[in-house]
Amino acid sequence: MNPPASGPLEDSAPAGGTQSVLQPAGPRRRVIFWRHGRTAWNAARRFQGQSDIPLDDVGERQAERSAALLAGKLAALPAPGAVRIISSDLARAFSTAQALSVLTGVPISVDRRLRETYGGRWEGLSFEEIERAHPAELKLWQLDEPNVRAGGGETRTDVASRMVAAILEAMAGLPEGGTLVVATHGGATRVALAKLLGLPENLWRTLSGLSNCHWSVVEQSQPSLAGASEWHWRLTEHNVGTLPQPFEAPEDLAEPVED
């Protein structure tokens, strides 16, 4: 399956002196949530939701660069089957996953449950347009009110539930020390992380979103023979990319992109 490719975000930093801060997995299973690269709608500050917008040229470079960093760390994992890659079926996420698949030889499994939030009538609008037309609704959405529907589409809890179900299903059979790479979207990642970590809904906003082609990592808090649905998780890395990294405005000063 080859959804159309196109490209991600800001220009790549110089290769010299760049290093990944992804830590070794050890004996515990882990999940790497990896946001796709930039798209033209990201650059234009438009609500993408489930609109199938490809990577732009910058995004393609971002995907290649971050895939190389992740592949270098994943290469240290033992035994065939220790790495799995799953992806949203939207082109921007799948194209990002392909960059890692090419380097590692690990095939991609596609799951539409890993899509971004369905934004209904908001999709394609800039955030300025949404704020002018639906100021009260947007404010509640940004505060993570659990039952507010983005543009009449999905709620935060809808997205978290389908994301976590897909991830736990994919974890089944993953060996100890294995890693699941999830190529997905910014808003969907944030609420899935919060739910997986067991945060109450009123605290979901304490987690920031991810920058394009950055990742977050959770690992089992302790090895367990129980099924994945009974594992407990801890956050070991969040919104990580590379060092050094070009300056980016903090999330509360940047656009509230849901992509």
Is residue 36 annotated as part of the catalytic site, yes or no?
Answer: yes
Question: Which one from 10, 60, 64, 116 is the annotated catalytic residue?
Answer: 116
Provide the residue type at 160 as one letter.
A
- Beta strands across the sheet bearing 179-184: 108-110, 83-87, 179-184, 30-35, 215-220, 233-240
CA distance 87 to 92: 10
SS3 labels along the chain: CCCCCCCCCCCCCCCCCCECCCCCCCCCCEEEEEECCCEHHHHCCECCCCCCCCECHHHHHHHHHHHHHHHHHHCCCCCCCCEEEEECCCHHHHHHHHHHHHHHCCCEEECHHHCCCCCHHHCCCEHHHHHHHCHHHHHHHHCCCCCCCHHHCCCHHHHHHHHHHHHHHHHCCCCCCCEEEEEECHHHHHHHHHHHCCCCHHHHHHCCCCCCCCEEEEEECCCCCCCHHHCCEEEEEEEECCECCCCCCCHHHCCCCCC
> Choosing from 10, 36, 219, 258, which is the catalytic residue?
36
Positions marked catalytic: 36, 116
